[in-house]
Amino acid sequence: MIAYPPLVSYTTELEYKSHYERVYCRGPIHTFDGIDVWFRKEQFEHCFYESSKRDDIKDVFSWRRAERIDWIKAALQDPLSELYFGWDNKRKRHNRKRRVLIVQGNYIVIITLRRNMVEANFVTAFIDLPHTLSQIRGSPRWV
């Protein structure tokens, strides 16, 4: 197992946002297998907020997600990550352009590949529970 960066501990959401923009939004992060992943500033809220009512409205900053901010890059560059095809909720099928990585047992990073298949956009990252992990692990492996 690869050593992952230590958890990041800031006192404000703004410090995490600044960190995200400084580390991720200035250029692509290169994956271990040659995909350039681009990060948009707008993805910060999607990645680091959670729904307080489990109604898909992300309204609460997640300190638990935020402290693993440096794990996103590490996961993308980890050749030992588990790779799966992502799920398209609208079409109710697996999507060959959506890639899900699992590292450290339960940390998930999702990217969506562009048409050229060598560039991607970051979607989100989070820690999840066994139910979601078993659903992901039931998906086809990324090849």
Q: Quote helix, strand, coil % in the chain, to nearest 5.
A: 25, 35, 40
The pLDDT value given to residue 79 = 96
Per residue in 35-70, pLDDT (tens digit) is: 999 999 999 999 999 988 877 778 899 999 999 999
pTM of the model: 0.93
The pLDDT value given to residue 42 = 94
Contact 110, 125 (CB under 8 A): yes
Contact 32, 78 (CB under 8 A): yes
- Tokens coding 138: 């039931």
